Structure 1
Amino acid sequence: MTRPTDTRARRRRRIAEAVWRIAAEQGLDAASMRRIAAEAGVSLRVVQYHFDSKHALLADALRLLHEENERLARARIRYDMTDPRGLLRGLLDEFLPLDDQRAFALRVFEAYYARSLTDPSLAAVFLSAEQPLERLVADIIEAGRAAGSAAPGIDRRHEADLLVAGATGLGVDVLHGRRSLADARAVLDYHLARIFPADAASQPGG
């Protein structure tokens, strides 16, 4: 028997997915409550029953997308701290539109970013002050330093900030057709070789 909580979760997910599609195709400015309801195939009253405000809906849709991306990334990335360069390479690939799912997610996140520039309440949700990705990248670089494969004297936090910001920007450039995927990956490989010169020397052509 289907529990009411399961039905509620599926309905909220269905509505959130409607937000994603509108955001990816038209931007969040087009995501009115009525438009979201129509896209989800439910009544406006159903949307209002599950979400007491548009802000709550947008925030929850963003949270669900983050959870979905993290689940898929964990399945794709081999988490091996004994190979920090390989681990970091896999993590940075998640910022690039390497397939339809990652391209779609990147478009949604860019729609949220654009809206956050003029919506302080959404910015407070979208722009996390905790910077978990930067901390993870910094920890991976530190693992490489401890293993002797990272370049001496580098600042792991600054390098992490540069890699995350750079990978995000490169992914958007690929979406816009300003760069090819090969170009974007070459740029990331260049920086990884600078951070992990010992590992780079063992790579083909290194």
Structure 2
Amino acid sequence: MREVAAEAGVSLRVVQYHFTSKHRLLVAALQLLNDAEDRHARARLQALPDPADPRALLQAIMREFLPLDGRRRMALRVFAAYYARSLTDPTLASVFLSASHPLELLVAGILREAQHAGAAAPGLDPDHEADLLVSGISGLGMDVLHGRRTVADVQRVLDYHLGRIFTV
């Protein structure tokens, strides 16, 4: 808490007043990081040349989980640290892991719309494909952080899976 106060240029008492414990400070910091990353991702997605193209949209969404620049690399490292801690901290887990799975629901919705438009294979289960895409890209992003894979390697894997899903 002292380090946070010093970095913020405020007294330790101010930090202690707003965050009565280190735990509350950690939870608030995670919420702020989630919000900041969401804003940055939305801004990048709005800049897509054709946001109506479901394949390009999904590719852009999945790329948000890769350490493509310093900001995303640091965010991914911080999220990994929080994830590890959330395994033994139910309060942190409740902030970190939403019960509603909004990202998977978003991806599944995009896949369903693509199926209805004839752009995605009709026999696929959008919910299962969404689960695989989200969990897969998360794990592959960690592999990039560890140097086990390159971003180009991960992009090829992503392209392969999107090629299986999209018929156009």
3-state DSSP of counterpart to 2:119: coil
Q: Are 1:81 and 1:143, in contact at CA under 8 Å, matched by a contact in 2?
A: no
Q: Are 2:5 and 2:15, in contact at CA under 8 Å, matched by a contact in 1?
A: yes
Q: Distance in 1 between matches of 2:61 and 2:163?
A: 15
Which one has a bigger Cα radius of gyration? 1
CA offsets per residue over residues 124-149 of structure 1, 9 Å max, x none?
Answer: 22111111000000011111101101
TM norm structure 2 = 0.92
Say which of 86, 91, 95 aligns to 1:125: 95
TM norm structure 1 = 0.76
3-state DSSP of counterpart to 2:52: coil
Q: Distance in 1 between matches of 2:91 and 2:40?
A: 28
Q: Are 1:81 and 1:140, in contact at CA under 8 Å, matched by a contact in 2?
A: no
CA offsets per residue over residues 153-205 of structure 1, 9 Å max, x none?
Answer: 11100000000000111111100101000001111111000010x22xxxxxx
Q: Are 1:98 and 1:181, in contact at CA under 8 Å, matched by a contact in 2?
A: yes
RMSD: 1.6
Say which of 7, 10, 21 aligns to 1:53: 21
Query: Percent identity of the aligned residues?
Result: 66
Q: 1:113-192, aligned counterparts within 5 Å?
A: 113-192=83-162
Count of paired positions: 166
Q: Aligned partner of 2:18: which letter?
A: H
Q: Distance in 1 between matches of 2:89 and 2:42?
A: 31
Q: Which moved more, 1:41-50 or 1:154-163?
A: 41-50
Q: Are 1:95 and 1:167, in contact at CA under 8 Å, matched by a contact in 2?
A: yes
Q: Distance in 1 between matches of 2:119 and 2:154?
A: 23
Q: Where in structure 1 are there 5+ consecutive unaligned residues?
A: 1-32, 200-206
Q: Where in structure 2 are there 5+ consecutive unaligned residues?
A: none
Shift of 1:39: 4.3
Q: Are 2:31 and 2:95, in contact at CA under 8 Å, matched by a contact in 1?
A: no
Shift of 1:44: 2.2
The equivalent residue for 2:70 is 100
